[in-house]
Amino acid sequence: MNKFEKLDEKSSKYPKVETKLPDDSPISESRRKFMGGVGAAPLAVGALSLPFASTTVDASGRRIRNRDALTPFSPRTRAARSIKLRVRSALRQYKRSIRRIERRGDRTLHRNNGDENNLEGFIGNFHKGLKQNDLGEVDRKAYFRLLRALRTGKFDDLAKVELGCPDPSLQRRLVNPIAGLGFQGLGPDSHFQFIRPAPRFRSRTVASEMVEAYWGALLRDVPFDQYEDNQLANDAAAELNSLPGKSGMMDVKNKVTPNNLFRSGLPGSEVGPFASQLILKDVPYGVQGFSQQFANRQAGLDFMTTYENWLDIQRGCAQEPGLDIYDPVRRYYYNGRVAASYVQIDALAQAYFNACVILLTPPTTIGQFGMNAGFGGIGAPFDPNNPYFGSAVGGGVGDSSGFSGAARVSEGLATFGPPQILTLLWAVSGQAAQNQWFQKWNVHRRLRPETYGGRVHNMMTGKANYPIHPSLLDSQAVKETFSRNGTYLLPMAFPEGSPTHPSYGAGHATVAGACVTLLKAVFDEDAVIDNPVQPSAEGTTLEPYTGGDTLTVGGELNKLAGNIGCARNFGCVHWRSDNAVSYRLGEEFTIQYLRDLANTALEPFSGYSITTFDGEKITI
């Protein structure tokens, strides 16, 4: 008896549906005409009967016409069980939400860091694009109107928010402020996922994160594999270790070294090259395989290093076209500038879709994949719990050897197969991002690093007095930045700077956490990746990685998530702590989503197995 048969059908609770077609319906009329035509036509010798006219008898003696759908469910049973499964999933999420409410009692479910209430002029909060004074401090009336729109969720209130660019034709719009108030069908509701409050404006942690951001900008053009021999990279590691707050590598328990500088700290991120194999290897995209060489900006090209330009951008003024100058040579993910260029205009789940195709495709250039010669993949095994692939001990495409039971006869496709996996990547990415949007706008409203850089500049030049920790103001990173640019502003990788939505949590890191968790659930995390590669010194080619490390599917997926989060940091649009909490919010979303999804499978299935970002092995 499968899980569907265990659901008690009480069809009297549901409205009865008349399934017999009236004699005068268009479908019935067409059927009569068709059958009449067949009856009048001469039959070929040996055509004893037509398939749709034959009948069979089931175990209970019920006659079944072969023109009917072959299914164990009657229409009423199917309708009843379908709604019960959906209600069961909704009730599970509801009970989970109620438990969280009860644990917190009458306290507020969500808490921010208090800067909005404790700092004059909302200097620690996001207000890019709103009306501002010459210090880049928001107009109070404009900010309160934004808060009102977020509280009510009304479009009419959103229309009253006062934007800041003097030239309305250049005004950038705010990005989807009320998205997090919407509802979703699967996975946890946006109001019942949580991230801890962001570090406070005046804290040592924020000072440490800003020092790391300045160093990331200074080192954008240095290849990752040259950090150990680069003096600035060594200076960066030394300074991050010396700070009184948490170091820049706040997710890593050991000290910062040139080798782990800027890495995410997720399990596997410190093993092997900086870049994941899944963002380096060629993508076997059907017959359109392509290499992962990226268009990238010219070395040394930084933005928002003059105060006038910085202030225009804080007010939401779009920049004139033509500021970007691109390197004529495409390069692999080999330094911070290439990394930042990749995540400026990538599609939401692009990196993980590519990774999935690489993992799905066998490392071959013959047979079915001969048309795509040179673009073989990794061919990673599926998770052992997959009912179609878990029993395999050998075999390949179109080969049933090594499989047993039903898996010897059938392979997965719409369920437990590649199309479902690829589709789910886009589903969890968009819905997890929507939940993070609630945190961004409705809870935390944290300012972007570029805005904090303006606070540093105004403090250092005597134009304002802010509660900034002295470890940042006295840092070598800030001094090096002034020496290079003549201002204390944070040099940005993009002409427009950060997006016009708050910093905490990070959308890219949320999507990374959601998608990587999905891929770890469907592939065998412990599988070893053969023939690893790394970028050449100039980033123009790939060469064999000859280190002694063993690179696994799970480790390289975690590293991929970290690569995307770190790339946003190289653009200076995020803080490290934005990423740290967001990987885990995305992970939690996918875990809950897969729990809902697992209940819909007809196949015998013991659950998805994953190792979380915190190293815990769980079965979903």
Q: What distance in Å separates the CA atoms of residue 4 and residue 452, rounded to the nearest whole number?
A: 56
Q: Would you give the end-to-end CA distance of the chain in angstroms? A: 22
Across residues 139-154, what is the average pLDDT?
97
Contact 207, 471 (CB under 8 A): yes
Lowest mean pLDDT among 182-191, 352-361, 374-383, 514-523: 374-383
* pLDDT tens sequence across 423-463: 999 999 999 999 999 999 999 999 999 999 999 999 999 99
SS3 295: coil
Burial class of residue 156 (count of CB atoms within 10 Å of its CB; 0-12, 13-18, 19+) = exposed
* pLDDT at 64 (0 to 100): 58
Residues 198, 112: Cα–Cα separation, whole Å:
7
Average pLDDT on 511-515 reads 99
- At CA 261, angle to CA 260 and CA 262, rounded to 5? 110
Tokens of 408: 């010897």
- So what's the pLDDT on residue 485? 98
User: Which of 399-403, 406-410, 584-588 shows the lowest mean pLDDT across its residues?
Assistant: 399-403
Residue 301 pLDDT: 96
Reported as a pLDDT band with limits 50, 70 and 90, residue 236 is very high
Query: With contact defined as beta carbons under 8 Å apart, do 175 and 186 qualify?
Result: no
Burial (CB < 10 A; 0-12, 13-18, 19+), residue 327, is middle
pLDDT tens digits, 592-611 = 999 999 888 888 888 999 99
pTM of the model: 0.87
pLDDT of 398 higher than 60: no
CA distance 461 to 466: 12
106/21: higher pLDDT: 106
Residue 104 confidence class, pLDDT cut points 50, 70, 90: confident
* pLDDT at site 102: 85
pLDDT: which is higher, 557 or 96: 557
Distance CA 531, CA 272 (A): 12
Summarize pLDDT for 410-431 with one digit per residue, the tens.
888 999 999 999 999 999 999 9
Q: Is the pLDDT of residue 213 over 80?
A: yes
How does residue 22 score in pLDDT terms, banded at 50, 70 and 90?
A: very low
Name which residue leads in pLDDT, 65 or 198.
198
- 302 pLDDT higher than 60: yes
Chain segment 26-80, per-residue pLDDT in tens: 333 443 443 344 343 333 333 333 333 445 666 676 665 566 778 888 889 989 9
Average pLDDT (205-225) is 98
Neighbour tally for 295: CB within 10 Å: 14
| Per-residue model confidence (pLDDT) at position 56 | 60
* Mean pLDDT (whole number) for 493-514: 98
Neighbour tally for 29: CB within 10 Å: 12
Reported as a pLDDT band with limits 50, 70 and 90, residue 376 is: confident
For residue 395, what pLDDT is reported? 38
SS3 content of the chain, % helix, strand, coil (to 5): 45, 5, 50
CB 180 within 8 A of CB 190: yes
Give the C-alpha separation, 171 to 499, whole Å. 13
Averaged pLDDT of the chain:
87
> Which one, of 432, 452, 438, lies nearest residue 199 by Cα?
452
Select, from the ranges 58-62, 100-104, 243-247, 338-342, the one with the highest average predicted confidence (pLDDT): 338-342
Q: What pLDDT does residue 32 have?
A: 42
pLDDT of residue 149: 97
